[in-house]
Amino acid sequence: MTVSKFRLFRDTSRRILALSMPYFRSDERWQARGLLAAIVALNLGAVYMLVLINDWNRVFYDALQNKQADVFWHQLSRFALLAFAYIVIAVYKFYLTQWLELRWRAWMTRHYLDRWLANHLFYRLELARYAEGAAHQAPPDNPDQRIQEDVNLFTSLTVSLSMGLLNAVVTLASFVGILWSLSGNFAFSLGGSDYNIPGFMVWMAVLYCVAGSVATHYIGRPLIGLNFGQKRYEADFRSHMGRVREYSESIALDLGSPVENENLKQRFGRLMANYIALIKAQKRLVWFTNFFGQAAVVFPFIVAAPRFFSGAIQLGELMQIASAFDRVQGSLSWLVDNYDSLASWRATSDRLTTFEENLTHAQAVPEGLRTELGDDLQIDQLSIQLPNGQPLLAPSSAHARAGQKVLLQGPSGSGKSTLFRTLAGLWPHAHGTLSQPQRVMYIPQKPYLANGPLRNTLAYPDAASTYDDEALCEALCQAQLPHLCTELDREDAWSQKLSGGEQQRLALARVLLKRPAWVMADEATSALDEDTEQLLYQRLVALTQSQGGGLVSIAHRPELARFHNTRWRLEEVSSAPRRFRLVSESI
């Protein structure tokens, strides 16, 4: 059991160190190391001031006991200087610590955003949720929370806890010698023999704090798992409310409010149940830590009182012993005082390390699909699987040259949209060779419309400044949206503001604005009336012909066949499980 706990501690330490070190080795390493060195120096300075104040206690209280007014007033002026120096150190220690936390959080946030959004990892991590029985670790829940909240907590808690531990160690090293020299020897007889324990107060402080730390660990250990779970339940609850807001119209039309209300209440119920368990665990810990802290106030006086009443020490020395004991006991009680924060830090660190491991795994997974750029669209021995490993597309080959207009069709569930994602280079569960044309745009059935000014939404992902108002308005008019020409600077939630047909026309306006050579559309006009659909297809065909490219579209309406000269048909070759192959034919 001890060996396994040691290995767990060692592995956890390595993972946390792996999270922490990249920032201090980054391009900001000199600023980071400089801030850290300054904070360490200020912590050492603060401990040194406490040593001076501890010595001041002895002189000051002796002056009170001996009624030495001149010494009393002199020591008050000395205390003012010591206190002022300590305040200056404390203020700048706080200020520089906040700056280090801020800069570290900013760097880690940028670092994880770059990795999460690179090479479509954010998409692949979501797909991995459906990979039943996959050998790799389950994908992380709520990556947004891990980047936004967990990074913030990790940096702030790491800095505060590490500096607190450093301060405790330095304080212990500084005051243990003082307490040893002041505490004297403890002599007692047992079984006819005389015993003498030097530095008795030090040993009492060690015994007191070791007992308290062990008890705190066993009382507070459940907090680690409960904190981890609380963060997950909070994020799940918030995420589902966001989905209700995003799909508000569909839910309202389906009269799904009672169902969503029940789903949210269930998630909130799990959140509250975990929170109640967390509160109860914290209550037990608070009971003990407060008892431990209050007992520590009088403990040194109880132990040192016999020497004071016997006249062996004066009041000033008694107060110095109490002050030194408080510093030593406070240093040794660092675990007791910070266990709740440590539990939260451990849970946050675990969430970030699992996120880091999943990102690393996703980056390291070899690509089964070999992709290259060319003038045409060509697939060679392309096979596709579902995330759970079930085959979907048998090895197939096809070629679409410039000037061709391909209509992709097949029965429901045959994998048309999955093939579309594969042609876009998004689908990770594919093998074979894919040659993608240059200057290509993909239009999904439900386009993404960013919130903000309409000109930004129309130009997305390009900068709106790339296009003048005349070009933007012309694209809107070609997409049958002339009424939006006066709305270019209006900020709105366009996915909520526009109807389904308007959203699809806005996505087509993007294509007409940017004028790619190749266009690949997945049911991109399914929400349009027949006349508007045919008009926009005419413009898409004209666009691709003028740019020397081609068109690949998924569509169910038979009327659209006349805009294409080639059909790629998904033909079923196996029914259990359903498996298809791609067949190319002329229209």
| pLDDT tens digits for range 460-490 | 999 999 999 999 999 999 999 999 999 999 9
- Residue 15, pLDDT > 50, answer yes
Q: Helix, strand, or coil here: 79? A: helix
Q: How far apart are CA 497 and CA 490, in angstroms?
A: 12
Q: How far apart are CA 246 and CA 188, in angstroms?
A: 76
What are the tens digits of pLDDT across the range 385-427? 988 888 999 999 999 999 999 999 988 888 899 999 999 888 8
The proportion of the chain whose per-residue pLDDT surpasses 70, expressed as a percent, equals 92
Q: How far apart are CA 392 and CA 430, in angstroms?
A: 10
Do the beta carbons of residue 323 and residue 54 sit within 8 Å?
Answer: yes
- Residue 36, pLDDT > 90, answer yes
User: Which among 119-128, 134-143, 495-504 has the top mean pLDDT?
Assistant: 495-504
Strand order, beta sheet including 377-385: 369-374, 430-437, 377-385, 391-400, 578-586, 566-575, 405-409, 551-554, 518-522, 440-443
State the average pLDDT over residues 198-210: 76
CATH superfamily of 15-364: ABC transporter type 1, transmembrane domain (1.20.1560.10)
| Bridge partner residues of 434 (DSSP) | 371, 379
Q: How far apart are CA 534 and CA 532, in angstroms?
A: 6
The confidence score (pLDDT) of residue 212 equals 79
- Residue 133, pLDDT > 60, answer no
DSSP string across 125-190: HHHGGG-TT-SSPPPPS-HHHIIIIIHHHHHHHHHHHHHHHHHHHHHHHHHHHHHHHHH-EEEEEE
What are the tens digits of pLDDT across the range 263-310? 888 989 999 999 899 898 888 888 887 887 777 777 777 777 777 787
Please enumerate in sequence order all residues whose Cβ is within 8 A of that of 327, keeping only pairs 6 or more positions apart, or say none. 50, 54, 171, 172, 174, 175
- Domain boundaries along the sequence of the chain: 15-364, 369-586
Please enumerate in sequence order all residues whose Cβ is within 8 A of that of 105, keeping only pairs 6 or more positions apart, or say none. 151, 152, 155, 156
CATH architecture for segment(s) 369-586? 3-Layer(aba) Sandwich (3.40)
**Segment (H or E) for 45:** helix 29-65
**Strand ranges (E), 375-511:** 377-385, 391-400, 405-409, 430-437, 440-443, 452-453, 491-492
Q: Tokens representing 337?
A: 């005082």
The confidence score (pLDDT) of residue 187 equals 60
Please enumerate in sequence order all residues whose Cβ is within 8 A of that of 363, keeping only pairs 6 or more positions apart, or say none. 115, 119, 121
Amino acid at 509: A
What are the tens digits of pLDDT across the range 48-90? 888 888 788 878 888 887 888 888 888 888 888 998 998 999 8
What are the tens digits of pLDDT across the range 38-50? 999 998 998 888 8
State the average pLDDT over residues 196-208: 75
Do the beta carbons of residue 445 and residue 524 sit within 8 Å?
Answer: yes
330 or 531, greater pLDDT: 531
CA R_g for the chain: 35
What are the tens digits of pLDDT across the range 417-464? 999 999 988 888 899 999 999 899 999 888 988 888 999 999 999 999
**Segment (H or E) for 47:** helix 29-65
Closest CA to 184 of 319, 60, 303, 58: 303
